[in-house]
Amino acid sequence: ASVGFIALLGIAVLNGVVLVSHFNALLDEGHDMATTVRVGVRDRLRPVLMTACIAALGMIPLLLASGPGSEIQRPLAIVVSGGLVTSTALTLLLLPLLFERFGVPGLRPSAKGEMQ
């Protein structure tokens, strides 16, 4: 199950990075924070959901396995499948709220590495 947590952590971080990097790109274009969050979630909803769905579909054979070694594979699949639902929901619901509340558009590093 610990290997499942590592895989799940990777997917969750990837989805968060996809969302936040798009938020930052929208802020650089000059959008206000509320528009950035709304448009950013709308634009990145499909990639985040597709990543989670494909990973969950990849776990189905592990969940249904009945041969030798299935007692090791099933807990991995359960952890990853359940965690994908939770992490995707948190990425799409909680991350935008936190970014809107705590993401300060004026304090991001510029291309030269200085704080703007």
pLDDT digit string (tens) for 18-77? 999 999 999 999 999 999 999 999 999 999 999 999 999 999 998 898 888 888 888 888
Q: Residue 30's domain is classified under what CATH number?
A: 1.20.1640.10
**Statement: residue 94 has pLDDT above 70:** yes
**In this structure, is residue 106 part of a structural domain?**
no
Number of domains in the chain: 1
The pLDDT assigned to 105 comes to 65
Q: Which domain holds residue 50?
A: 2-101
**In this structure, is residue 110 part of a structural domain?**
no
**In this structure, is residue 111 part of a structural domain?**
no
- pTM score, whole prediction: 0.80
Measured at the CA of 100, the angle between CA 109 and CA 84, to 5 degrees, comes to 100
The pLDDT assigned to 42 comes to 96
**In this structure, is residue 51 part of a structural domain?**
yes
**In this structure, is residue 13 part of a structural domain?**
yes
Higher-pLDDT residue of 88 and 107 is 88
